[in-house]
Structure 1
Amino acid sequence: MPDIVYVDDEPDLAISAQQAPHFAVFRFEDLSDDEAFRAAKEASLWLFDFFLVGHPGAEGRDENGLSLFSKWRGALSRNYPPVAVVSNDLEKVLGSPLGPRARLHVQAQALGVEWLGDKRCEHVVDKLIELAEASRTLASSINSSVASEDAEAAMTIGIQRLCFELLKAPSNARWCRSVERQVDRARPPRITPPIDGVGAARLIIAWLLHQVLPYPSFLLNDTHAAVRLGLDLESFRRVMACECELSKLIGSCIYEGPLKTFDNRRWWGGGIDFVAWELSQEQSDYESAILRKAEGLRVDFLRMEQPVIVSDSDLVETNEVGEARDCVRAADESFPQGVEPAWVKLSDALEDRKLAAKVIYEDQELMDDGNSL
């Protein structure tokens, strides 16, 4: 059974022969019977092209992918899989300028779907397949417990089960309790009956896509991991590309859970923090411990008092690292509750009125001081 039910008026997604077995493709004009919906009830991902056009004069036909999604969702209540919408013209879908692709999760939330993608992007099909595989794996893991336990207890997913069974955090790591605390602070979905494994998987994937991966959280990208360790990004990646004691130590913190490569590799923040602490406890100083475990590999350290990752005027993080004293914190209405604000350069905020309006209240005094210079 294919993982992905794909409905389009003109199915023009660039699906290779190797990728094709993942897809059950339906032309919009051929949806006169229940074949597509029967497949949808067994699928791990629903995929719609936004612009679906019925036969001229045909009454009761869906006008776009979202209206078909609404009909299917209504039939299945909470127990439907993640939903992705793709288009060749996202600006027309959104009815506004596209903006940075790193903020597409905000528009996806507004549309009520898990993911929004551009058909023309090179790796869009790979991402769809990874979404479907994550959905299937999570649903299978959740449903397998229902067969062996009390159904209501099995469908109640607490922090410990979410961390170690579903997100695949290493339960025997010395930093596992730190992971539990960090995951809980990220406000995961509180999953309780009545819901099945498919619906629960969708809630977890939506949380990862909308609130975890786009922001600094319990999962760190390479740049954040490097800063936590006091290394520049190039050195961090050079270490991780080699076999040495340091790469093995850091490698124990790699995230292996659902969507592990969806937005580049990620690291358990609790694990990276533990590595930094453990190295700081060695008899030699921290930098000497790093160099010794790098086994002769060149390592460059961040020579900053309080390094932070700088975001641009759209509050999208860059790879630039700056001093906190030269930056202010900013956020907008799309930032989830509990997510730390972005860091933007004070000089940029002073020159950009729209960016200045996003600076948080606690840092407005710094703005006033900057304006007085």
Structure 2
Amino acid sequence: MNENKAPKRFVYIDDKPDPSVAESLGQENVGVFLFPDDLTDRMEELIATIRDCSVVIVDLKLADHDSDDPSSPSILYPKDGLALKEILASVLTERVSHLDSGTDTSAVDVEPKTTAFMLYSGELDLLGGGAPAKGREHVIAKRIRAEWVMVKLPQSRPESQKDLRVLEDLADAVEAVVGITWLDASEREDILNTIAGLLALDEATEWASVAKRQIFEGRPPLQSLAEQDGVALLRWLLHLVLPYPSFLVDAAEVALLCRLQLGWGVEQLSELDSPISKLFHESSYGGILSHFLGPRWWRAGVLATLRRECGGSLQEVERLNNTLDSLYGSAVPRLHIATPVRTVDEDFRLTATAVDVEDAVRLEAEEWPPELPPPWFPLSRLADNPRVRRYVLERDIDRVRSYLSAKSDGSR
């Protein structure tokens, strides 16, 4: 490989490369390798390029490898992108394998992980366990031990390039975390401060200490960070933080906390100059991966703003609504539900729908972060979703039986 060449931020491996990848991320930023030919003809260059890049993009379905060369049996070639990802990852995490007897392995230098892997395919549903991949990318990525997965859209779809451009945010995040020597942060507080810095938490805010506590309660991967795996922090954010109502919340969750109709709240918070966006501007998240899955807000900041606007009591949320009425010049659409909870669909994807807590049950979802309250599912949809009933928490089973019995009696 020519040492004068600038390192590529992305490596893309596919048997039929999608031109949208290089077009979206910049031809000069993407090293494109054809499978399987380049695994033989350009292997040394491929490995060198991967070692210097931030994100490796791999297709799921790869062409079969046929060779007449007996020294290159096809069984040694990966059959799909999952296998190829594991092979490449093993190259990047190579350790000293020939240690003398009695060597103190704790003194062996650990090669820090400096690359994120993303599976890029039009057939991600094959990995969804019977559920669609759309909206469950974080679940699939966690399952296959990748940082992320993305649906490969037809090249005729203009949004394909827009979606691909968020990978620049991922590359930026990789470059931010791998530049840190985590071993220097020996104390818990040091690591937490480093994480808070990457998340761009404003220490000057009155709610910063609460946000820090919530970060730690979210169980960041401290052990992996101590082993110099900075990319583990990105996996934590992508798999367990950003997709869920954690210490960071999305627009629908902000609307729920404000007791506003969720659809209206989402629409208004997407407009930077709207009164409600300005009201929660201090709480908006601007750290690593802030553009990857859409805007997020600090939960601690949102609640602090609510308390201020509600005179110190979250029970007085109507005071906030009255303030918004004044700012908008008309009545904002309120959420007329006594105790609203946000629901998930039958595939455990968060929705922008809220129901009263009396009209929902909690689910035991294996993929749901255990440190978060369990997700809610509408009682009204259980009759048509028998598969979901097996996941209802034990303490809610009687309510399900009563509801289904009453529904059956009412239909007679």
TM-score normalised by the shorter chain: which range applies?
0.7 to 0.9
CA distance in 2, matches of 1:244, 1:370: 41
Change in Cα spacing, 1:85 to 1:243, as seen in structure 2 (3 Å) is closer
1:180 matched to 2:177? The reply is no
Letter in 1 for 2:393: I
- Note if contact 1:239-1:246 (Cα within 8 Å) is conserved in structure 2: yes
Residue number in structure 2 paired with 1:22: 29
CA distance in 2, matches of 1:104, 1:188: 20
| Greater C-alpha radius of gyration | 2
- Note if contact 1:217-1:339 (Cα within 8 Å) is conserved in structure 2: yes
Single out whichever of 102-111 and 315-324 deviates more from structure 2.
Answer: 102-111
- Note if contact 2:133-2:140 (Cα within 8 Å) is conserved in structure 1: no
Question: How is 1:88-127 mapped onto 2 (pairs within 5 angstroms)?
Answer: 88-92=122-126, 94=127, 97-120=130-153, 122=160, 123-127=162-166
CA distance in 1, matches of 2:149, 2:274: 40
CA distance in 2, matches of 1:40, 1:155: 32
1:84 matched to 2:112? The reply is no
For residue 82 of structure 2, give the secondary structure of its aligned residue in structure 1. Answer: helix
1:252 matched to 2:252? The reply is no
Letter in 1 for 2:242: L
Change in Cα spacing, 1:256 to 1:185, as seen in structure 2 (3 Å) is same
- Note if contact 1:11-1:27 (Cα within 8 Å) is conserved in structure 2: yes
Change in Cα spacing, 1:325 to 1:51, as seen in structure 2 (3 Å) is same
Residue number in structure 1 paired with 2:410: none
Structure 1 stretches of 5 or more lacking a match? none
Change in Cα spacing, 1:359 to 1:133, as seen in structure 2 (3 Å) is same
Residue 219 of structure 1: how far off its partner (Å): 1.0
1:359 matched to 2:398? The reply is no
For residue 40 of structure 1, give the secondary structure of its aligned residue in structure 2. Answer: helix
CA distance in 2, matches of 1:30, 1:245: 54
Which digits, 9 at most, give the CA deviation of each residue in 1:256-288, with x for residues without a partner? 1121122111111111111111111179x6434
Which digits, 9 at most, give the CA deviation of each residue in 1:215-265, with x for residues without a partner? 211111111101111222354343663647654331111111121122111
For residue 261 of structure 1, give the secondary structure of its aligned residue in structure 2. Answer: coil
For residue 173 of structure 1, give the secondary structure of its aligned residue in structure 2. Answer: coil
Percent identity reads 25
Residue 351 of structure 1: how far off its partner (Å): 4.2
Change in Cα spacing, 1:246 to 1:7, as seen in structure 2 (3 Å) is closer
- Note if contact 2:260-2:334 (Cα within 8 Å) is conserved in structure 1: yes
1:128 matched to 2:167? The reply is yes
For residue 34 of structure 1, give the secondary structure of its aligned residue in structure 2. Answer: helix
For residue 295 of structure 1, give the secondary structure of its aligned residue in structure 2. Answer: helix
Count residues in correspondence.
Answer: 361
For residue 15 of structure 1, give the secondary structure of its aligned residue in structure 2. Answer: helix
Residue 372 of structure 1: how far off its partner (Å): 4.1
Residue number in structure 2 paired with 1:138: 177
**What TM-score do the two structures reach when normalised by structure 2?**
0.79
Letter in 2 for 1:125: L
CA distance in 2, matches of 1:193, 1:271: 27
CA distance in 2, matches of 1:178, 1:245: 25
Q: 1:34 aligns with which of 28, 44, 56?
A: 44
Residue 87 of structure 1: how far off its partner (Å): 1.7
CA distance in 2, matches of 1:156, 1:286: 35
Superposed CA RMSD: 2.8
CA distance in 2, matches of 1:16, 1:193: 32
1:302 matched to 2:335? The reply is yes
For residue 158 of structure 1, give the secondary structure of its aligned residue in structure 2. Answer: helix
CA distance in 1, matches of 2:214, 2:128: 37
- Note if contact 1:86-1:116 (Cα within 8 Å) is conserved in structure 2: yes
- Note if contact 2:268-2:277 (Cα within 8 Å) is conserved in structure 1: no
For residue 371 of structure 2, give the secondary structure of its aligned residue in structure 1. Answer: coil
CA distance in 2, matches of 1:174, 1:321: 30
**What TM-score do the two structures reach when normalised by structure 1?**
0.86
CA distance in 2, matches of 1:70, 1:258: 26
